[in-house]
Amino acid sequence: MNEATLCDFYGQSALIERLEADFRSGQFVHAYLFAGPRGVGKRSVARLLARIALCTGVNKPCGACGPCVRFLTDNHPDVHTLRPEKSLGVDDVRELIAALQLRAFEGRLKVAFIERADRMTPQAQNCLLKTLEEPPEGTLFFLMTDAPGALLPTIVSRCRQVNFHPLTQEQECARLTALGFPPERAALLGQLSEGSVGEALAIARDEGYLPLRERVMRAFFDLRGPQDVLSAGAGLKDDKENAERILDILERLLRDAMRAQAGLGRVAEASAGYAAFAARTELSASLRLLEQVALARKMRGSNVPFATVLEHLLLSASKEIHQTCQR
């Protein structure tokens, strides 16, 4: 498995250098909250720092000592990861805490990664809070999220928050060009991924992304009124495997529209309906729809059928577009 080194974190190097210095000197706290958009390096940085903390070699992380080898092959007995697909429940957190209560198998440190920490239920967050307040000896937590506002303030206050920022479009295009993408392709990927090189690479690898984006864009923004909701959702409601991707794409389309509405650029690869929405609708309408996407994620976490979630979102979009057309 290829793991990151400091030079891999283009645009984040000053931030990582400070963290790396803390870990090399052993001056790290027991819990970190890494916040920022997906694909900007939160997970990779957390893994790099954990490797430094666990390594028993001289030049940390050496990649050759027992802890390094076991970490790199995902076989380290003192490393635990929660990576939720949907919600993260209290039983998952309890199981993690029980494992952390045990003595370390080697060395003195146990590491817990909680990815997409915002997907913890309130009960799970309260359960974790007690452990963050009184952590087992030799425990290191890394919480990662692109929505820190969804975490309890008390959770946030018990962690050292580190904010990861997206690159500017110019920085991202330069990085993607350096990675071998033609300038036009790099520019499109940069606009679609909002300053996240990791997300740009994921889009480039995913042949189905642009066709799905086109379907989402037309379903939501080519609506003429509430009467179109059922037909618009017909091609998406049964696509349960892509439910999260559909919500992610809609969220990204709305943020892109907000930048255009604020006079900060144009939307990328737009259908006629989406271009009109971005040009004629007030920024507040996009913000209201973003709030509906956040609500849709909560509905998904409560096991509401995706078809119902999608219909709710389409009705909200229809309402905003209809109001715009009446002005």
DSSP states along 111-154: EEEETTGGGB-HHHHHHHHHHHHSPPTTEEEEEEES-GGGS-HH
* Residue of 286, 270, 296 whose CA lies nearest to 323: 286
User: Is 152 a domain residue?
Assistant: yes
| pLDDT over 90 (residue 1) | no
What average pLDDT does range 233-256 have in this prediction?
87
Strands 31-35 and 160-163 turn out to be: parallel
Do residue 31 and residue 147 come from a single domain? yes
pLDDT tens digits for 160-210? 999 988 888 888 888 899 889 999 899 889 888 888 888 899 899 999 999
The boundaries of the domain holding residue 28 are 6-163
How far CA 69 is from CA of 5, 57, 73, 75, 128, in Å, comes to 16, 11, 6, 8, 29
Please indicate, yes or no, whether residues 200 and 212 belong to a single structural domain of this protein.
Answer: no
Which residues fall within 8 angstroms of residue 54, CB to CB, at 6 or more apart?
A: 61, 67, 68, 71, 76, 78, 79, 107, 109, 111
Helix (H) / strand (E) element for 68: namely helix 66-72
Co-location of 304 and 191 in the same domain: no
Task: Give the 3-state secondary structure of residue 161.
Answer: strand
Question: Which of helix, strand or coil describes residue 302?
Answer: coil
Residues 201 and 227 in one domain: no
Selection from 233, 252, 225, 241 nearest residue 313 by Cα: 233
pLDDT at position 86 over 80: no
- Does 148 share its domain with 50? yes
In a domain, 29, yes or no: yes
Tell me, yes or no, whether 233 and 133 share the same domain.
Answer: no
Higher-pLDDT residue of 46 and 167 is 46
What is the per-residue pLDDT for 175? 85
Q: Is residue 281 part of a domain?
A: yes
Q: For the chain, give the number of residues.
A: 327
Higher-scoring residue by pLDDT: 38, 324: 38
Angstrom distance (rounded) from CA 98 to CA 104 = 12
The whole-angstrom separation of Cα 301 and Cα 122 is: 11
Instruction: For residue 232, give the nearest of 258, 251, 250 by alpha carbon.
Output: 250
Prediction pTM value: 0.72
Q: Has residue 3 got a pLDDT over 80?
A: no
Are residue 152 and residue 185 in the same domain, yes or no?
A: no
